[in-house]
Amino acid sequence: MFAATGNKLRQFLQSLGELVKQRREKKLVRLAEVEKRERKAIVEALARKLEEAHTECEEVGKTSVVLVMSLKEIIFMEGNLNAWMRHFKESEIYAASPKR
């Protein structure tokens, strides 16, 4: 009797654990989708702003233009620029090391 109850309890706890895991995974998927949409919107906005600035410079003959960016756009650009800086630094380090 105790063994059967213990098995049922164990199965219940396993199914409960699976349910919690599935909910957590669904939540992470939803968050990833939201983040992807936000990134896409930021990239599109930045591309549009840069294209407009480029066009303005060419039409008016300017060599510089003022860009107004949101905080999210600045953070996004900063993150991408930092990734490129790491890439260049690693390229220099590996290029300087002797090949075997």
CB-CB contact of 50 with 22 (8 Å): no
Q: Is residue 85 over pLDDT 70?
A: yes
CB-CB contact of 73 with 45 (8 Å): yes
Higher per-residue pLDDT: 73 or 98:
73
pLDDT per position as a tens digit, 25-43: 999 999 999 999 999 999 9
Tokens of 92: 């220099």
Domain residue extents for the chain: 2-96
The pLDDT assigned to 100 comes to 59
Helices (H), the chain: 2-60, 71-96
